[in-house]
Amino acid sequence: MIKLSDRPPWLKVKAPSPAEAAGVRAVRATLSRYDLTTVCQGARCPNAAECWGARTATFMLLGKICTRACRFCAVRTGDPGGIVDQEEPVRLAEAVAELSLSHVVLTSVDRDDLADSGAALFAAAIAKIKERSPDVRVEVLVPDFSGREESLREIVSAGPDVIGHNLETVRRLSPSLRDQRADYDLSLAVLASFKKLAPRTLIKSSLILGLGETKEEIIISMEDLRRAGVDGLTLGQYLRPTCHSTPVVRYIPQCEFDELAAEAKKLGFRSVVSAPLARSSYHAARTFSECSV
């Protein structure tokens, strides 16, 4: 089993610069004032200082308790009891305006306790942000909504500029790493449905690596994603968030991420972010720009 102390030097995160530290304080103060949560905190993202330093953040909707229990995630699992903060979209829109953001990413915990899995609140958040800040691009990174087409349609109808849903891992490992309610083929079907419902919208997905997958399996997953109509791909190293999470099998060097990026480009992805510390919403604005050319 690989220990935390065994992490290679390329996974060491540098201390934030004074400017980044100031940005972190500004974002943290705004989050506190509007009672909001970011995935930067919940998922223990290694890029939090860099992104917050640039005054950007991926906001996590629908609370801090997830109804699913994927073995690679640090977000708390439990039963939210059907509680939804209906004022969250309004506060979120105000925070986005206050931070003068140009590209906002919205994600959420899974909410299987809700009939629509939270799609209505996602749609409300998109609408409120665009109403308050018309020039802001809104990207959503959504759960599978159990594949309900009405929920997928509700997201599309709200008009996000980018729609993402993460495949997470290769087919062989999916059953043992993801919650039993998640499914490799369901995720592909959700992505394909989004592309069919919104053919001009940028569709994104992500794979976390270092969990025991082979290069051949990664390429097969990339091929599956392209067949589903996915435009943008993120590949990143899995970092064990807690001692209860699944262990890291292997740390992958940048040269292999570069090789995978080249393979992804050959398959036709319009944008590829492939690096050890890359995460779903990392360099999200850059991805949008690359795919808009």
Convert the pLDDT of each residue in 103-127 to its tens digit.
899 999 999 999 999 999 999 999 9
pLDDT in tens, 127-163: 999 999 999 999 999 999 999 999 999 999 999 999 9
Count of positions (residues) in the chain: 293
pLDDT band at 54 (very low <50, low <70, confident <90, very high): low
Q: Report the pLDDT averaged over residues 182-187.
A: 98
Cβ–Cβ under 8 Å, residues 67 and 86? no
User: Could you give the percent of the chain with pLDDT greater than 90?
Assistant: 71
pTM of the model: 0.90
- Nearest-angstrom CA–CA distance, 188 and 234: 15
The alpha carbon of 66 is separated from its chain's Cα centroid by a whole number of angstroms, namely 15
pLDDT in tens, 22-46: 766 777 788 889 999 876 554 455 5
Does the pLDDT at position 93 exceed 50?
yes
CATH for 14-292 is 3.20.20.70
Domain range summary for the chain, segments of one domain joined by +: 14-292
